Structures are given as structure tokens and as C-alpha cells.
Structure 1
Amino acid sequence: MSGPGERGVQAVLFDFAGTLFDDTGVFTASRLVAKAGNRGVRLDEQVAATLIRRTLAYVDAPERSAAKEGCDLSPDAHRRIWTGLIADAGPFEPPLVEALYDCLTDNDAWLPYPDALPVLEALSAAGVPTGVLSNIGWDIRPVFERTGVLDQLDAVVLSCEVGLAKPDPAVFDVACERLGLPAGRVLFVGDDPVKDGAAARAGLPVYLLPSERDVRVPRGLTGVLRLAGVESGRAVAA
């Protein structure tokens, strides 16, 4: 096995949602029932499931893309924009809006893909500097702490903390600076051809994952180990 300094890729930078942790199962009927109960709203799971479908159909519609601009640049902007969209999806009363927003930002709701943690552990064991760069509106470090890999990350760059978001090339520059390496030596791994693919404009090599995903199915992250010169067979099943 070659050492990190003996290969072109010397560090790996990962996107968060849809790359390492699943973004399709955050809203569940049982979770919304619990969050609504905490806000004084009683729901059964059938009603909760209907409300979730209604909300996602509205906020994920292509015509709502412009309304989300800037939502990840600060925690305040994220809450304001997302609660506004959720409220309009109903329209819903404020306690239910807050319950739906609580589901979105619940760090315990974010689950890793089967190959995510083993790949992070393999990179760390091989001495490859590793980081996360995410367009996000709240602190996701507790997700990595809960799953036992926070200490294996050399950099965590969150758009809401630095006031920059992908696809702005400047945010990739910030992440590379924190890893202490030039862009050409840092592999970026993501799933969005536009936002994550913009890493190439900042000089980073890019590894894009398929858009189709399932939290029960490996994400295809073992390919990252090969690109980083790490022998995957010793650390994670191919």
C-alpha cells in the first residue's frame, strides 16, 4: 500500500446528505407524530404520513428552487426559509410547521449508508486526511459524533458557518485550506452534478455517486478507497 504522500489524491472531502448519510428517510410518520406531540399537536400516523407527502411534494417541486436560494448560508436563513415553505405547503399552523422542521433538523434521524462509516474508518486508518463539506443550515457534527466518526474528520465545513455554499468555488477553497492541501490533491465526493460537480471549477478532482439511493444499499463509496490508494479489501467489503 502506498502512503498518502505518494499518490495524486492526498485527502478526501465528502458531501453529507445523499453521500454519506441518507436524506430520503428523515421524514417518517412515527417521527412526526412524536415531534408534533412535543409541540402539543396530536396526530395519528396515517395523518402524519399524508402531511409529509403533502409537504415534500410542495417544497421539492422545481418551481420552489428559487425560493430556497440562500437557505444554507446561516441558521437563521435556513429556519426562516424552510419554515416559510413548510407553512405554505399546508397552510399549516405554527406548531405543526415547527414539528415538521424539527424532523428535518433532527440529527438522530440521519442514518449512514452501509459503506459510509467503514470507508471513513479505512481512510483514517490509512492516514488519509478526510473532511466533510456540506450545504446545511444547522450543526451536523452530532451526527458524526453519534456514529463514532467525528474524531476521524480533519475538517468539517458547513455552509451555514462560513457563509458560502456550493456551487461557489470559494467554499471548496475554504475546505482545502482547512485540510492544508492544494485543491488538486483533494478528491471531492458527492451526488449532485451541479453543486458537488462545481468542485472541478475549484481545481478538485470529483467522484460523483448515482442519484438513486437507498439507505439499505451501499452507496458505492469503496471506489473512493481505490482512488485514494487504500486497499479496500482490508477495511470494508467491496
Structure 2
Amino acid sequence: MTTHDIRHVLLDADEVLQHTPVSVDAAAGPHAARISPELRAELWSLEWPALRGEIDFFAESVAIAARHGVDLDPADLFTTMWRSIVVDPDSMALVAALRAAGYGVHLGTNQEHHRARFMREELGFDDGRFDVAVYSCDIGLAKPDPAYFDKAVTMIGAEPGSVLFVDDRQENVDGARAAGLAAERWELADGHAALRTLLMRHGVVVHAG
């Protein structure tokens, strides 16, 4: 399959379609002072099971915080943090342009259930702008596992080589390539002109605007 056979673009969310313009501590606001380094480390230990949908991140966070003597309301803490997320208008304009040009455009993101719900319901990711949305918590697999990408292309209904994946993390790009997808590393800080250049290398051309 040549690079000109790309018919689908699979896009990561964080730092590709959206970003958080402030630090985690700043986004957490008054909650940050209550989270010790030890508590933070234990909360981070939940990341991968939560991303694979194996646990309820909020429920486990409450239990861990209680062991540290902290009365934590994760719905309050994390929703406060998530409300600082900015969906990038230029990325979304490119999504629309790709779809108008006849490409399938899909979301491929590692998220735990609560943040995924926030993205869908509050940020508008379920408003029809993507053809297929592949959330790690829904499929029990997370990037960079090549099995995540195997499942993604099955959901899309395409051959791996017809899908171009874009992500800000090289390990995820490598996982996609191992599964047979075309893949490129790009992040918002690189600028959308650079992204269009990467797309053109794979024969994906859309009009600016």
C-alpha cells in the first residue's frame, strides 16, 4: 500500500485536538494544597488501569485519599481541572476540512471513563465531528499497545495501511506503526502548517480555511 492510499485519519486528543493551558496544580486550584506528593503518586498509580477501563478512577481515588486522611471529592477536583481544557479551533477546522475532502476522521484517545464522559458531553466530542471515536476505557486497551490500534482499525472498518495516525507521543506512534498503520508524531506546539506538511507526505491534501 502506498502513502497515497490513506483514506482515514485517526487523531489523538490531548495536545493534538485540545490542550490544558495551565499546570495541573494551577488547574486544581485550592485542591492542590491538599494533595501530598505521596497521595499524588498513589493517584498516578491508578492511571493505566483507569485508562483501560478496569477500575472506576473516582471510586479508587476516594479510597486512596481516605487512607491519607484526605476527604477528596474527585468529581469536584477533576471537573475543576478539566474545565481549563481548550479545544483547539484550528485542529477542529482541519477535522472538518478532512471530512469535507472525503476522508474518514476518527478520534483515538487514552481516557478514563469520567474524563471521556466530560469530553463527550461538555466539550462536544460526540457532536458528530468524528466518524468513529476510540476511547481506551471503552475497549479495554490503551496506547501504545499495538492491540489498541488493531481494535481501532476494526472499529473503523479499514485496512491498517489506509489509516494515518497522529499523536504527540512517540511511543504511541511506534505502537501504531507496529500494528501496520501509517503514523506521525505532531503536537499543537509544532503548528498546523507542520501538520499539513505531514499529511501531504502521506498524500492527504486539504484546502486551508
Give your verdict on TM over 0.5.
Answer: yes
Instruction: Return the offset for 1:150.
Output: 3.5
**Whole-Å Cα distance in 1 between the matches of residues 121 and 36 of structure 2?**
25
Query: Match of 2:14, as an amino acid?
Result: A
Normalising by structure 2, what TM-score? 0.76
Instruction: Return the offset for 1:207.
Output: 0.7
Residue 178 of structure 2 is aligned to residue 201 of structure 1: yes
Query: Match of 2:102, as an amino acid?
Result: G
Instruction: Return the offset for 1:7.
Output: 2.1
Percent identical pairs in the alignment equals 25
**Whole-Å Cα distance in 1 between the matches of residues 184 and 48 of structure 2?**
25
- Describe how 1:107-126 pairs up with structure 2 within 5 A: 108-126=83-101
CA gap 1:84/1:194 in 2 versus in 1, 3 angstroms: farther
Normalising by structure 1, what TM-score? 0.68
**Whole-Å Cα distance in 2 between the matches of residues 67 and 208 of structure 1?**
26
> What SS does structure 1 have at the residue aligned with 2:76?
helix
2:162 aligns with: 185
Structure 1 segments, 4+ long, off by >6 Å, are 56-61
Instruction: Return the offset for 1:170.
Output: 1.6
Instruction: State whether residues 43 and 61 of structure 2, in contact with CA within 8 Å, keep that contact through their aligned partners in structure 1.
Output: no
- Describe how 1:101-140 pairs up with structure 2 within 5 A: 101-104=78-81, 106=82, 108-138=83-113, 139=117, 140=119
**Whole-Å Cα distance in 2 between the matches of residues 165 and 221 of structure 1?**
24
2:19 aligns with: 22
Residue 26 of structure 2 is aligned to residue 52 of structure 1: no
1:175 aligns with: 152
Instruction: State whether residues 165 and 181 of structure 2, in contact with CA within 8 Å, keep that contact through their aligned partners in structure 1.
Output: yes
Query: Match of 1:93, as an amino acid?
Result: D
Instruction: State whether residues 3 and 201 of structure 2, in contact with CA within 8 Å, keep that contact through their aligned partners in structure 1.
Output: no
CA gap 1:100/1:121 in 2 versus in 1, 3 angstroms: same
More displaced 10-residue stretch of structure 1: 158-167 or 111-120:
111-120
Structure 1 residues not aligned, in runs of 5+: 33-44
Residue 206 of structure 2 is aligned to residue 226 of structure 1: no
Structure 2 residues not aligned, in runs of 5+: none
Query: Match of 1:166, as an amino acid?
Result: K
Q: Residues 75-107 of structure 1, C-alpha deviation per residue, up to 9 Å, x if partnerless? A: 84332455566x38x863224x44212234x4x
> What SS does structure 2 have at the residue aligned with 1:115?
helix
Across the aligned residues of Structure 1 and Structure 2, the Cα RMSD in angstroms comes to: 3.6
Instruction: Return the offset for 1:67.
Output: 4.7
